[in-house]
Chain A
Amino acid sequence: MENRTLTCISCPLGCDLEAEVVGDTVTVTGNRCDKGVAYAKAEILNPQRVVTSNILVEGGICPLVSVKTSAPIPKGLIGNMIQELKNMKIRAPIRIGQILIRNLLGTGIDVIATREVETCPAGE
């Protein structure tokens, strides 16, 4: 048996969680909602994060488009993901919610745009 203290990151309340781990069974206290239980289980057994970053834009009104993963990805893949984003360029226009990378690193999770980028009018 192992006891762990965690801060729930599901929302800005940041509940202080106490988790009791026995093999694959996690018992959680200190949570104010069900998300706390789900978070503590995932955090102990397979930590995941929604990752946000930027990708370079060509021909847009700004040089970058902000992006996020469509669902949490395993924490260990964050570095590889950022590297993949750095090797890319996307042409404007870009719509919010547009899929920019499908099936990121074989996770089945996409990288999507979190803002609009209009094309830059000619001559500007």
Chain B
Amino acid sequence: MKEMTTDTLVIGGGAAGMAAAVECAERGCRTILVEREEYIGGVLNQCIHNGFGLHVFKEELTGPEYAQLFKSQIRQKGVETRSDLFVVKVDAKRREVVTMGKNGCAIYRPQALIMTTGARERPFNSLRIPGTRPAGIYTAGVAQRFVNLHNRLPGERAFVLGSGDIGLIMARRLTLEGMTVLGVAELMPHPGGLARNISQCLHDFNIPLYLSTSVVEVHGRERLEGITLAKFDPVTLQRLPGTDETIACDTLILSVGLLPQNELIESFVETDPVNRGVKVDSFMRTTHPWVFAAGNNVGVYDLVDFVTLDGKIAGQSAAKMVHDGFLPEKRVPLARTENISTLIPSLCCLEGNPFTIYFRSKKTMKKARISIGPGLFETIRMGIKPSEMVDIPFTVKHMEKLKQLGLSKIEVSLKEVL
């Protein structure tokens, strides 16, 4: 079996992995980027719509354009890309990664490992919707791949369940490609995706959005023939009797959330039960000192720009560990208060570069006070929505103040200002 050593190994060639690999190579590390698909780029390759890159590049790019900027850097900086290669096992004790590809198995021994394995879409069978199991039910990402990469249309008359961004974007995309999109249903009383996508994907094409509504049954033997919708109470989320309505359609598109993918490492690193991803500190280091992580396997981000920035930190930190042999160990945990759901990172280091705290609110707030501390700093933000991540810069000055205050945890608090 082929065996080789390297400075850094990055698993997953999407936005986070490409950014991390470029940073490692730029710092003189021999860097290998492993990708299970034929091409690197990840989901960006199929996201042909625009809106990417406003934070990082200050311009509006499509997914393939955004990916291309990193693909070029990967080539320039000499990152060794290994595509069509599947990781079978990550052995933390031996610090080995076992891969399987066209040329058989191989063992890699990196000094630092960066996990950028992203998230998967929540599948239909996890929703426990009664009825038959016909063809014609796809997750939005799969439908997107069919249409944008393989030139295949999934059907004629579609209904979309879930108002996540990919679902909204696919409602528009399928309409432009000639399908009839009958509507989008969302169980919650508020949409899951960004406000701009409700506007430019649904309103522009007169596609109705049904809030507090979900699919309660699917019909059809070989192919989907229809779905039954019902209304749900916005507070208790209980199904309201007498509100059932059956709609004829041959395609059901699901946009019902993403699940971080960490099966290779979850046996030896800690995960956060709310983020559903691996716990990382402000160096993007997991609870195992050999393993770094960034991107949607840490938590589900809304913007690829944020994923890129955290991928860069992971790459910089891994390179620093390769050069210095260690990273500062002192860390203080970040703690949620009642209005916070997703929170990244889980731990803050007392030394190192500035980073960003990302969190998601559980509630919509017109104006909110965000307090980090107690006693570190406060800021006011307008228009807080559960669907939109909040990013709070944490500077070196804040780190120094944190050391002075000697806090044992950093509370992230979000309160509505009336």
Contact = CB atoms under 8 A, between A and B. Distances in A.
Interface of A: 6-16, 32, 49-50, 52-54, 56, 62-64, 66, 68, 75, 78, 82, 96, 114-116
Given A13-B388, A50-B60, A82-B176, A64 B195 contact: no
B149 A49 contact: no
A10 B49 CA distance: 14
8 contacts: A7-B196, A11-B196, A12-B54, A13-B388, A53-B176, A56-B151, A68-B48, A114-B62
Q: Which of A13, A50, A64, A115 has the most CB of B within 10 A?
A: A115
A12 B196 contact: yes
B281 to A, nearest CB: 27
Q: Which of A11, A16, A63, A114 has the most CB of B within 10 A?
A: A114
A52 B200 contact: no
Given A68-B50, A68-B62, A12 B150 contact: no
Given A32-B382, A115-B45, 5 more contacts: A6-B199, A9-B199, A12-B194, A62-B149, A115-B64
Contacts of B217: none
B151 A54 contact: yes
B73 interface: no
B68 interface: yes
B205 to A, nearest CB: 9
Contacts of B68: 96, 115-116
A14 B148 CA distance: 26
A54 B49 CA distance: 10
Nearest to B69: A96
Contacts of A115: 45, 64-65, 68
Q: How large is the interface on B (under 10, 10 to 19, 20 to 34, 35 or more residues)?
A: 20 to 34
A54 B196 contact: no
Contacts of B383: 13, 15-16
A9 B197 CA distance: 8
A52 B196 contact: no
Contacts of B396: none
B48 A114 contact: yes
A14 B62 contact: no
Nearest to A63: B151
Closest 3 A/B residue pairs (Cβ): A14-B195, A115-B64, A66-B48
Contacts of A52: 48-50, 62
A32 to B, nearest CB: 8
A54 B148 contact: yes
A9 to B, nearest CB: 4
Contacts of B48: 52-54, 66, 68, 114
Contact of B200 (A13, A49, A82, A96): A49
A78 B176 CA distance: 9
Nearest to B147: A54
Nearest to A82: B176
A78 B195 CA distance: 21
B87 to A, nearest CB: 25
Contacts of B150: 63-64
B64 A64 contact: no
Contact of B196 (A8, A32, A68, A96): A8
Interface string B38-80: 0000000100111100100000101011001000000000000
Contacts of B349: none
Interface in B244-278: none
A96 B65 contact: yes
Contacts of A50: 50, 60
Contacts of A32: 382
A82 B302 CA distance: 28
Contacts of A8: 196
B303 interface: yes
B86 to A, nearest CB: 21
B204 interface: yes
Contacts of B198: 7
A14 B196 contact: yes
Nearest to B45: A115
B74 to A, nearest CB: 14
A7 B387 CA distance: 14
Given A9-B200, A114-B65, A16 B195 contact: yes
Nearest to A6: B199
B65 A64 contact: no
A7 B385 CA distance: 14
Contacts of B382: 32
Q: Which of B54, B195, B198 has the most CB of A within 10 A?
A: B195
